[in-house]
Structure 1
């Protein structure tokens, strides 16, 4: 599900049909795309896990290194507290020991310079999964951001008590500093802005007044029988007024 703002910024999406989906969004920062990759490896079978990580790597590889890429999901990967050899992509605020899937995930993040957010912020409650008998907790869900944008992520934490009928807790990035930008499609036109700073010049003000007066005087001179066409004439005059404004200011029309 996407908000109205996110729908307008959506550039495209793709899925490999096996628990991995990627969506790309246009953001305000020029030349940079926001890629969000949601993944859910389906089993604990070693062969299938290897294949799942290979598919995940192929999706990540399609993202430009200059883009902001967020990787998140239930990886069933315990990365632990020991970040020896992985200092660039994880902190020491993980939970317990690393498992085999944790090794796979840490290596994937290291290869793609994805920082594991849940290990970099000190929180008392780190577990994202609770066993059915409520006796075992693990940190197996993760939210990562590529290293170039590490400072854009203000905090990552779990949210307990969400009514989602699962044995997992929500994991959220409470602050990510970015702004989405509308992705214009064929047939849509952006609102035209005008530079009004030139109006501080009295001569320019007079030129614009004359241009406006000439444009709208023609509307007043329309015969009564042509009242029905006045609406079309108004649209035409609006266009001509814009042309006059651009001519006076030297602004290019585009």
Structure 2
């Protein structure tokens, strides 16, 4: 299992900073074996919108609003890497799709995402926000419900089976991405 947690630059950042972020995210994703479950989470500052034309394999029609520039970059990267955008797959009321609300409560967006590689798409049962969770942020808690089947790992000479799992070494690199977007 590979878990990638990252913070993407906003639309207002300069193009070089955004290019560096998406290049680093691509290089980290390339290090994750395609046969392993890969989950990418966090604030990607990307609005992917409702229109999934050209991206039917990686997103549903249940997003919010219109796709922005970051959303286009995000969708292209995820189409290339065959990662599914979970929040667009499941129908919910707007209040359960909104992941960020402006301080004056006039703007609501879906900019936080949980993504999974396409091979494991059916393991996702639901993605939604929990607005009542007190997380001291202008973002809402985003929750994914998954059903995973872990295989037993047998080694020769042993009579018992063990379940093995681990996090990708890419996690440390994605932590650096989160902490260092530059304008």
- Corresponding residue number in structure 2 for 1:88: 57
Aligned pair count reads 153
Aligned counterpart, 2:97? 126
In the superposition, the TM-score normalised over structure 2's length comes to 0.78
2-structure distance, mates of 1:97, 1:41 = 18
What SS does the aligned partner of 2:2 have? strand
Partner of 1:77: 46
SS in 2 for 1:53: helix
| 1:101 maps to 2:70 | yes
| Unaligned runs of at least 5 residues, structure 2 | 161-183
SS at match of 1:76: coil
Question: Do the aligned partners of residues 180 and 51 (structure 1) sit closer, same or farther apart at CA in structure 2, a change above 3 Å counting?
Answer: farther
* Corresponding residue of 1:35: 2
1:176 corresponds, among 141, 147, 152, to 147
Q: Tell me if structure 1 keeps the 8 A contact 2:9–2:45.
A: no
Per-residue deviation, residues 99-153 of structure 1 (Å, max 9, x unmatched): 0000010001101000000000000021100000011100000001111111111
Which one of 122, 134, 155 corresponds to residue 163 of structure 1? 134
Query: Aligned-pair RMSD on alpha carbons?
Result: 1.9
Higher mean displacement: 43-52 or 136-145: 43-52
CA displacement at 1:192 relative to structure 2: 4.8
Show CA shifts across 1:64-85 (max 9, x none): 1111111111000000000000
Q: Secondary structure at the match of 1:84?
A: coil
Check 1:180–1:135 CA distance in 2 against 1; reply closer, same or farther (3 A cut).
Answer: farther
Structure with more of its chain in helix, by fraction: 1
Determine the structure 1 residue equivalent to 2:81: 112
Within 2, Cα distance between the matches of 1:62 and 1:179? Answer: 22
Aligned to 2:109: 138
Structure having greater relative contact order (Cα 8 Å, sep ≥ 6): 2
Distance in 2 (CA, whole Å) between partners of 1:83 and 1:192 is: 50
Looking at structure 2, the residues matched to 82 and 129 of structure 1 have their Cα atoms a distance apart, in angstroms, of 20
TM-score, with normalisation over the residues of structure 1?
0.57
Contact 2:63–2:87 (CA<8 Å) still a contact in 1?
yes
* Structure 1 stretches lacking a partner, 5+ long: 1-33, 183-189, 194-254
What stretches of structure 1 move > 6 A for 4+ residues in a row? none
User: 2: CA distance between counterparts of 1:42 and 1:98?
Assistant: 16
